[in-house]
Amino acid sequence: MSKSFCVWIAGCLLLFAGQATRSEETGFFPLFNGSDLSGWVPVNVAPNTFTAKDGMIVSTGKPTGILRSAKQYENFILELEWRHMQPKGNAGVFVWSHPLTAQGTPFAKSIEVQVLDGHETANYTSHGDVFSIHGARMKPDRPHPAGAERCLPSEKRSKPSGGWNQYRMECCDGVLKLAVNGKVVSGGSECRPRKGYICLESEGSECHFRNLRIKELPSSNPPADEVQPVIDEAACRMTSPLPRCPDCGGIARPNILMFGDWGWNEARTGE
């Protein structure tokens, strides 16, 4: 038996062992039952924007909005697969999200994990960008070329439209690491808030999601100002504790990004 053949056999065994370890990882439960959208809440979308079909969550992309989890998550590992059905499609996964979209926009205050096809510039890519939106905060793992709170991936691993891609998001104590098709390529730390909802985003084009599963990790009991609010939708009232000023203990006035605001005004944070 040749030496090269033995090396090939050893490589195959290591590959199969890694796949078996991942598939046998315990503690996960499905976020999607494969037949309907139980456990999910549509926000700012049409009745047919998100539907369950053939074991997938199908987004038409229109209008722009979100489908969020019915409950909040703090520390967890989230896995899912996605594919765009046309070139240059756009969508996203939001973690630690607000339950409602930000005023004047179809997007929610959250950390976004980009689900994009065929767009490549110096400032954003289609291979697993991670960034803060609409008042959330994040320190990228690597400095962004334009100074944005956005981590660009270390390599290109996403398959083009029509092909399935796998995301694994490890989110713990405000730290997020994204693996694209089996390898960690991007992430961020000091994420705020660090407890909230998980959302699938609709943004212009058809996108499919499947094999959504989550493993919850132990809580670190974040303070109220690092937790997204819980809303009683029927009463249109906030039911979770109000965030308070760390200095005086009074109810904090939020620093909110409005429509057309793309930067955080640090000077207002202490007001």
Collect contacts of 62-65 with beta carbons under 8 A, ≥24 apart.
62/202, 62/204, 63/106, 63/202, 64/106, 64/107, 64/201, 64/202, 64/203, 64/204, 65/101, 65/106, 65/201, 65/202
Average pLDDT score over residue span 29-37: 97
CA 229 from centre of chain: 18
Q: Could you read off the pLDDT of 227-246 as tens digits, one per residue?
A: 999 887 776 677 777 666 66
- List, in order, residues 6 or more apart from 204 with CB less than 8 Å away: 61, 62, 64, 89, 90
What pLDDT sits at residue 8? 45
8 Å CB contact between 16 and 44: no
Given pLDDT bands bounded at 50, 70 and 90, which one contains residue 146?
A: very high
Its pTM stands at: 0.82
Q: Could you read off the pLDDT of 14-31 as tens digits, one per residue?
A: 444 444 445 578 999 999
What pLDDT sits at residue 210? 98
What pLDDT sits at residue 76? 98
Average pLDDT score over residue span 156-173: 97
Nearest to 104 by CA among 262, 233, 227: 262
The rounded mean pLDDT for the chain is: 87
Cα separation, 68 vs 41, in Å, equals: 5
Q: Could you read off the pLDDT of 59-75 as tens digits, one per residue?
A: 999 999 999 999 999 99
90's tokens: 């756009």
Residue 107 predicted with pLDDT over 70: yes
Cα separation, 132 vs 111, in Å, equals: 4
8 Å CB contact between 209 and 84: no
Cα separation, 44 vs 210, in Å, equals: 22
- List, in order, residues 6 or more apart from 187 with CB less than 8 Å away: 130, 141, 151, 175, 176, 177, 178
Higher per-residue pLDDT: 145 or 258? 145
Coil/strand/helix, residue 266? helix
Count CB-CB contacts under 10 A for residue 179: 19
